[in-house]
Structure 1
Amino acid sequence: MSADPTSPRPFAGFPVAALGFYAGLEADNSKAYWTDHKTQWENEVREPMLALVDALADEFGEAKLFRPNRDIRFSADKSPYKTHLGAFVASEPGSGYYVEINASGLRAGGGFRAHSTAQTANLRRAVDASASGLQLESLLDGLRRKQFEVHGEKVRTTPRGYAADHPRIETLRHKELMVIRDFGDPEWLATKRALTRVRETWRAIRPLNEWVAEHVGGA
């Protein structure tokens, strides 16, 4: 599902009802709840998200909204619906921008999500190299100071081929590298200011995505 160029109305924020919908879904993740509240999801969750990513498209590109249904084929958790709505813009190869609304509020971020072992190997080589590795650490330190948290799957031990006392061992453990800023439910969430905050967030992580494009690529 992608952003509709004929978005029904300009973005005006995420209403309180959007968070309420997901709070209810967390309590009753059932087809009956979804059916009874589908109109609320369409009007108070999906429509504002479409309007948000539509407003960001000129600068960042077209977004894809994730499906609300969970893939439960291989999961012990058979809950049929995701308890959030996320949207993603693919930018540089292997990286992009993300935004999400859930019962707790708003999250935004992005970065590199590995699609192959070759990408992870490229990431680690770049982290290991002095110039590119120090550049990445500087980028990550700057993002942490802006209240971003660093996420991404990583190994608990030392990656094969690298020393346990490597000066960037914590970053080397990552198989993928993403940053997220969790805004929660501030007063401005139901206003146009939410668009400004997401735009600022995505701009802040653009240098990280550019680093990924240069050193990791889409292998």
Structure 2
Amino acid sequence: MTGDFEGWPRGAFDVLLRLEGEPSAGVRRECRRDREELVRRPMIDLLNVAADADSAYEDFSVWGYGDVLVRAWQRQSAIVRLARNVELGVRFDLDGLEVGLAWWYAPSAQIERYRAAVADAGSGPRLAAILRKLEREGFEISGDLLKRPLRGYPVDHPRAELLRHKSVIATRPLGCEEWIHTSAAADQVLAAFYQLRPLARWLVKNVSQARP
């Protein structure tokens, strides 16, 4: 992978180490400029490379220092919007990179469309197969679940567990190998995005009713 992205410099980890735990306001102020240049800027460059590789990834946001209230200084997060409530995510922290896909914070109309698609004899088994494949590839599947089986469906429905979902999240850590300091980190992220594409397409088609 070529372009302006050259990976995260080793100094990025030094900055995050200074910000680990509960740093004082003074330390956060002292680190702000270095964090912007060494931690946040490479994320912007990486997602620009991703957008150049595939126009589906053009609508992205990279959180600033104060955009996220809970320990924003300890991690750098970014999202790529594929459709309403369907987003790819990338996170960089002391453990390295993590990539994921989330359908979340969905309105009730989307949740109803999701349940109908899960129950359908065609789209339901397709989703189950996609999620099984992602799990074999190392992704963790999670989401908000109803505490009890969904009313209106048999308790022994073959996809009863999926019917309980109010959100679907697939995440996988990519690690912190030497490639993180090189342009190859973009290749790692794009490969993970490619693995997530079948799930993204299923959610966009069956739940968001829009194309990525």
> TM range, normalised to the smaller chain?
0.7 to 0.9
Mapped to 2, the partners of 1:63 and 1:90 lie a distance apart of 6
Q: Return closer, same or farther for 1:29/1:127 CA change in 2, 3 Å cut-off.
A: farther
Q: Secondary structure at the match of 1:199?
A: helix
The alpha carbon displacement at 1:96 in A equals: 2.5
Letter matched to residue 185 of structure 1: C
Give the equivalent residue in structure 1 for 2:200.
Answer: 209
Give the equivalent residue in structure 1 for 2:42.
Answer: 48
Deviations 1:106-157 (A, max 9, x none): 0012131233122122111111112111000111111111111112222232
Q: How does 1:100-179 map to 2 (within 5 A)?
A: 100-179=91-170
Mapped to 2, the partners of 1:192 and 1:137 lie a distance apart of 34
Given the alignment of the two structures, is residue 24 of structure 1 paired with residue 18 of structure 2, yes or no?
yes
The alpha carbon displacement at 1:63 in A equals: 1.1
Given the alignment of the two structures, is residue 62 of structure 1 paired with residue 59 of structure 2, yes or no?
yes
Q: Could you list the runs of 5+ residues in structure 2 that have no partner in the other structure?
A: none
Cα pair 2:146 2:165 within 8 Å, conserved: yes
Give the equivalent residue in structure 2 for 1:75.
Answer: none
Q: Secondary structure at the match of 2:35?
A: helix
The alpha carbon displacement at 1:34 in A equals: 1.1
Given the alignment of the two structures, is residue 14 of structure 1 paired with residue 11 of structure 2, yes or no?
no
Deviations 1:51-101 (A, max 9, x none): 1011111312131112332665xxxxxx66352111111113331221110
Given the alignment of the two structures, is residue 92 of structure 1 paired with residue 86 of structure 2, yes or no?
no
RMSD: 2.1
Mapped to 1, the partners of 2:45 and 2:184 lie a distance apart of 13
TM-score (norm 2): 0.87
Mapped to 2, the partners of 1:213 and 1:32 lie a distance apart of 44
Q: How many residue pairs align between the two structures?
A: 205
Cα pair 1:111 1:178 within 8 Å, conserved: yes
Q: Return closer, same or farther for 1:71/1:40 CA change in 2, 3 Å cut-off.
A: closer
The alpha carbon displacement at 1:181 in A equals: 1.2
Cα pair 1:94 1:212 within 8 Å, conserved: no
Cα pair 1:92 1:209 within 8 Å, conserved: no
**Identity between Structure 1 and Structure 2 (%):** 29
The alpha carbon displacement at 1:50 in A equals: 0.9
Given the alignment of the two structures, is residue 81 of structure 1 paired with residue 72 of structure 2, yes or no?
yes
Mapped to 1, the partners of 2:73 and 2:150 lie a distance apart of 33
Mapped to 2, the partners of 1:124 and 1:30 lie a distance apart of 46
User: After the TM superposition, which of the residue ranges 42-51 and 30-39 deviates more from structure 2?
Assistant: 30-39
Given the alignment of the two structures, is residue 200 of structure 1 paired with residue 191 of structure 2, yes or no?
yes
Mapped to 2, the partners of 1:30 and 1:81 lie a distance apart of 13
Letter matched to residue 95 of structure 2: S
Mapped to 1, the partners of 2:13 and 2:209 lie a distance apart of 35
Given the alignment of the two structures, is residue 36 of structure 1 paired with residue 27 of structure 2, yes or no?
no
Give the equivalent residue in structure 2 for 1:76.
Answer: none
Q: Secondary structure at the match of 1:216?
A: helix
Letter matched to residue 51 of structure 1: D
Q: Secondary structure at the match of 1:130?
A: coil
Mapped to 1, the partners of 2:118 and 2:141 lie a distance apart of 15
Q: Could you list the runs of 5+ residues in structure 1 that have no partner in the other structure?
A: 1-8, 73-78
